[in-house]
Structure formats: C-alpha cells, structure tokens
C-alpha cells in the first residue's frame, strides 16, 4: 500500500485550498453582480420617486402653483413671494438633476437613466425664465454639472392646447395656446 509523504499531502491540500478559493471568488462575483443590479434598481426607483415628488406632487399640486411655475418659465411678472416659490422649485429641480448626473458619472445609474432625465431638463432649459434663473443660479452647482448643462440643447416642452384639445410642442411658448405652433411649423 502506498502512503503519501508529507510533501505530497501538502500539495494535495494546496490544490483543495486553491479550488476552494476559486469557488469562493466565483460566488462573490455572482453576489457582487446581484448587489450592483439591486443598487442600480434602487437608485433608479429613488430618482423616479424624487422626480414625481418635485413635479407631480410639488409643482402640479394645484392650479396656483402650476400658474406660478408657468409664469416663471415664461419670465412673466411674478410678485416677490411667487418669484421666491419659482426660485425654490427650480433650485430643487436642478439639485435633483445634478444628483442624477453625478450618479451617472460615478456609475451608479446607467446612461439611459441620465439620458431620460436630461431630456426633461432640455425641455425646461429652453424656457426664458429658466435661462435667466440658470444664468444667475449656476454658481450653486458643481462645475461638472455646469459643464454638462452647457452641452444640453434645449427642446420645446410638450404642452396641452385647450383650443385644439391636443398635445404638442409649441415653439417659443410654455402653456400659452395663443402662440401654439408645432415643431413642423403648422399652427395649432
């Protein structure tokens, strides 16, 4: 009968140990991927929830708030209190977008998430009141976000025209059906 020497037993033990380490690393890699996917999903859920709170529960909560926001975007006349409400809304919205951008830059959320948020921001950034406010308020934001804002091409917001009972992208107007024109130049 053959008996293993101490050095042969040591070699077998090293092989078994190395196999165990490889199996453990493989298991950890799988768990890390699952955790990364869960973290990204949670981050995306938080982004959507925060946008809902800002836009749908905040700005759209009543007619008065929507009117203030629309006037502010159009650079319309606002009294001191309404101007402060508009300023606060925009600063909160911009903080949201900056956070999403930084999450994208750090790899927490994927490009598609940032691209969708960027489109909403592009719609806002084309409005005269937003442009005026951004010019003065950008000092409150990170240089990377300011740089990203400079690369965003404004788009027209989708708005409802109560005269035609239809949705469209009026050129040069926000919630103003008197000047509603579609992107192809047709009047609504």
Per-residue model confidence (pLDDT) at position 174: 41
Q: How far is CA 81 from CA 75, 78, 88, in A?
A: 15, 8, 11
The model carries a pTM of 0.68
What is the full per-residue pLDDT of the chain (188 aa) written as tens digits? Answer: 777 788 877 887 888 888 888 878 777 777 777 777 777 677 766 777 777 777 777 888 888 988 999 899 988 899 999 999 999 999 999 999 999 999 999 988 889 989 989 998 999 998 999 999 999 999 999 999 999 999 998 887 777 788 888 888 765 444 433 333 334 444 43
**Which DSSP string do the residues of 101-163 spell out, in sequence order?**
HHHHHTTSS-HHHHHHHHHHHHHHHTSHHHHHHHHHHGGGS-HHHHHHHHTPPP-PPPEEETT
């Amino acid at each position: 009968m053959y008996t293993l020497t101490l050095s042969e037993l040591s070699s077998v033990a090293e092989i078994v140990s190395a196999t165990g380490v490889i199996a453990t690393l493989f298991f950890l890699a799988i768990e890390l991927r699952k955790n990364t996917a869960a973290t990204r999903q949670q981050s995306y859920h938080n982004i959507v929830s925060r946008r809902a709170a800002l836009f749908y529960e905040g700005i759209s909560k009543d007619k008065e708030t929507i009117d203030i926001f629309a006037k502010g975007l159009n650079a319309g006349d606002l009294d001191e209190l309404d101007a402060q409400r508009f300023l606060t809304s925009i600063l909160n919205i911009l903080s949201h977008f900056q956070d999403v951008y930084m999450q994208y830059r750090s790899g927490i959320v994927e490009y598609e998430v940032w691209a969708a948020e960027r489109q909403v921001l592009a719609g806002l950034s084309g409005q005269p009141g937003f442009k005026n406010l951004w010019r003065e308020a950008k000092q409150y934001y990170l240089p990377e976000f300011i740089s990203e804002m400079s690369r965003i091409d404004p788009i027209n917001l989708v708005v409802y025209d109560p005269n035609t009972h239809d949705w469209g992208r009026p050129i040069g107007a926000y919630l103003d059906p008197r000047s509603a024109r579609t992107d192809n130049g047709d009047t609504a």
